[in-house]
């Protein structure tokens, strides 16, 4: 039996996978299950199967991107769900991971790469966020929220869930008119503009993406709030009270901490403490891992977020321990990002022709693999989203969570 057949026979129990080999042989694995769509794949050449076995996650991605792995029934999301859903994280599943030897080498490589020095940060950000504006228009919501949405109901639209995410975060910030807010990793400006519109707070957003900066500044100009909502191209390490008009009452950071790197977590939190007023509060929203510290998978590190890493909660805690900041609220969002990336995947597939015209077929296949893999990592794997609220003062926020609930209801109308 071929190595790929041995691998799939062990892997696929629920759901049915049919494999057409390059030599004409056909193999079938698993049994039909309503939880999974049936999938049929074909290997276009004799070496494709062994290429995948050596490093299943990256190998499958590159074989799919290069047309060596063809999907004849279902799509890449169906295939990824079938393989990942048969190995749940909570049941000890390892996902599509490489061999122990390859994992050992990768652990060293990734830990070296994620020592995210300032000179690399801008290049790493540009790799992903300076892609064509048109691409992001095609699969994100109109406000371009490129982070986990908040689904009060799984059937909600992406637009509703992203609006609810902004309300959920704003409520935790306990903002008052006239407060000054620093948005670290402001994206295209949606969160900063929302906070000002809903609360009257003055916001400074910082980013390392030149393309995001252009859009954010344009949006502030168009809204007539450029004096109250400013955007700057600057690394968080270089922000000082003197340079930016004083200390901040609040700091918010959504979807940026994944690019900081564990070696710099303490410097990040120390900088945040330095920038906050004595009763200041910060809200950190980040992808995280539910187990212990690990490494970024090979596909994501190579093609999507070079230098990126999703931290374990223990790593985040070690970052602020000893800095005399109070952890005043911690929330874990489990399935929300799976719902979010499913919506992005559907919009990407609907926009296939436009994306292929922007880039090419290989890029489109890479992007769908990325979104399909991200969805399963939150649905079946060990990823989640953490929201941590930290305060410099023990009385910086009320002692119960009632204020969050009340303010969120108000913001959601």
Q: Which domains does the chain have, with CATH numbers?
A: 3-97 (3.30.1050), 117-412 (3.40.50.150)
pLDDT at residue 373, rounded to an integer: 97
pLDDT at residue 396, rounded to an integer: 95
Contact at 8 Å (CB) between 180 and 246? yes
pLDDT at residue 37, rounded to an integer: 97
pLDDT at residue 276, rounded to an integer: 98
DSSP label of 15: S
Positions of the chain with pLDDT under 50 = 1, 99, 102-106
pLDDT at residue 282, rounded to an integer: 98
pLDDT at residue 102, rounded to an integer: 46
pTM metric for this prediction? 0.92
pLDDT at residue 202, rounded to an integer: 98
DSSP label of 311: P
Contact at 8 Å (CB) between 181 and 248? yes
Backbone angles phi, psi at 180, to 5 degrees: -105, 130
CA distance 261 to 337: 21
Long-range contacts of residues 273-278, Cβ cutoff 8 Å, at least 24 apart: 273/323, 273/324, 273/325, 273/392, 274/241, 275/182, 275/239, 275/240, 275/241, 275/247, 275/248, 275/251, 276/247, 276/248, 276/249, 276/250, 276/251, 276/392, 277/247, 277/248, 277/249, 277/392, 278/392, 278/393
């Amino acid at each position: 039996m071929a190595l790929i057949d041995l691998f799939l026979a062990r892997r696929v129990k629920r759901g049915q996978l049919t494999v057409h080999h390059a030599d004409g042989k056909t193999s079938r694995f698993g049994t039909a299950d309503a939880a999974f769509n049936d999938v049929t794949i074909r290997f276009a050449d004799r070496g494709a199967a062994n290429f995948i076995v050596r490093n299943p996650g990256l190998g499958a991605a590159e074989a799919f991107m290069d047309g060596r792995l063809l999907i004849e029934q279902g799509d890449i999301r169906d295939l990824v769900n079938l393989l990942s859903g048969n190995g749940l994280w909570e049941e000890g599943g390892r996902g599509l991971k490489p061999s122990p030897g390859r994992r050992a080498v990768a652990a060293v490589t990734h830990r070296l790469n994620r020592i995210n020095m300032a000179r690399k940060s801008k290049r790493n950000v540009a790799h992903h966020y300076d892609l064509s504006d048109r691409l992001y228009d095609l699969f994100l919501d109109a406000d371009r929220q490129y982070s986990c949405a908040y689904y009060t109901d799984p059937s909600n639209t992406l637009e509703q869930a992203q609006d609810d995410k902004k309300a959920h975060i704003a409520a935790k910030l306990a903002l008052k008119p006239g407060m000054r807010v620093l948005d670290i990793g402001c994206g295209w400006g949606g969160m900063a503009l929302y906070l000002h519109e809903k609360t009257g707070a003055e916001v400074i957003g910082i980013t390392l993406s030149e393309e995001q900066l252009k859009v954010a500044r344009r949006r502030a100009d168009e809204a007539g709030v450029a004096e109250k909502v400013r955007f700057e191209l600057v690394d968080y390490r270089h922000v000082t009270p003197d340079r930016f008009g004083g200390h901040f009452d609040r700091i918010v950071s959504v979807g940026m901490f994944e690019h900081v790197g564990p070696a710099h977590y303490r410097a990040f939190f120390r900088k945040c403490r330095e920038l906050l007023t004595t009763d200041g509060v910060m809200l950190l929203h980040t992808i995280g891992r539910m187990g212990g510290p690990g490494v970024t998978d090979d596909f994501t590190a190579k093609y999507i977020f070079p230098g990126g890493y999703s931290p374990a909660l223990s790593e985040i805690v070690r970052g602020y321990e000893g800095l005399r900041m109070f952890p005043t609220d911690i929330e874990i969002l489990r399935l929300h990002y799976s719902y979010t990336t499913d919506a992005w995947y559907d919009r990407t597939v609907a926009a296939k022709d436009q994306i292929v015209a922007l880039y090419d077929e290989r890029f489109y296949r890479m992007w769908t693999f990325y979104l399909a893999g991200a969805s399963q990592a939150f649905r079946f794997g060990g990823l989640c989203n953490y929201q941590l609220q930290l305060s410099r003062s023990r009385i910086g926020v009320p002692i119960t969570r009632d204020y969050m609930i009340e303010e969120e209801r108000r913001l959601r109308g």
